Chains A and B, each alone.
Chain A
Amino acid sequence: SQKIEQNSEALNIQEGKTATLTCNYTNYSPAYLQWYRQDPGRGPVFLLLIRENEKEKRKERLKVTFDTTLKQSLFHITASQPADSATYLCALTQYNFNKFYFGSGTKLNVKP
């Protein structure tokens, strides 16, 4: 079965630095990879989607890369702020597929 791995340890960085989060997967060939933000006690909120034929996607301070050879996606937040502190989840799915498979998420702590 498919396996999606995100760093279980929290990532602690200083305000203003770039945060880089990793999503690795095995036994799966996703057509789309999505990133979500989840605050404590709340539902996840969609951030970005990248397709398998795209190498990179940007939105404001966010950047996502997708390497289907390495089976890995990297999620970058540049000029990080304390308000960026949250858990970030990656989710994979396929063409014409209605099921989403989520990773366990990585908690990001941005210190002022």
Chain B
Amino acid sequence: SQTIHQWPATLVQPVGSPLSLECTVEGTSNPNLYWYRQAAGRGLQLLFYSVGIGQISSEVPQNLSASRPQDRQFILSSKKLLLSDSGFYLCAWSWPGGGYNEQFFGPGTRLTVL
């Protein structure tokens, strides 16, 4: 069976500090990978998605970046965090091939920027 891991679960960072969130998937190969952000009481905002190693599509211009160094590893980074980067970050995967495939979400990372 497939599992998705995210860490850390919670993170408190000062403004201007760097960020690195990691997501790994087990039990599948060549998955589509996604990073979402959810502000308090809001929906999911798609930040990045990847259909393969080194292939990253950015949805929202911001100070965040994503990388996929391995098939089942997806990393979200920032060089300098802003207050507005606070939120609940979710990683998800789906089978390749299009929108008829459901998304499987990780447990999320709660990021607070002070």
How distant is B53 from chain A, measured CB to nearest CB, in Å?
Answer: 15
B62-85 at interface with A (beta carbon < 8 Å): none
Q: B49 touches which one: A30, A34, A99, A102 (CB < 8 A)?
A: A99
B46 touches A100 (CB 8 A): yes
A60-96 at interface with B (beta carbon < 8 Å): 89, 91, 93-96
A46 touches B99 (CB 8 A): no
Q: Does any Cβ of B come within 8 Å of A32's Cβ?
A: yes
Closest to A105 in B: B43
Bound complex: CA A99 to CA B59 (Å): 9
B99 touches A100 (CB 8 A): yes
Q: Does any Cβ of B come within 8 Å of A53's Cβ?
A: no
Task: Please give the residue numbers on chain B whose beta carbons come within 8 Å of chain A beta carbons, in ascending order.
Answer: 32, 34, 36, 41-46, 49, 51, 57, 59, 88, 90, 92, 94, 96-100, 102-108, 110
A42-B107, A42-B108 known, 6 other contacts, Cβ within 8 Å = A4-B43, A32-B99, A41-B88, A89-B43, A97-B99, A99-B57
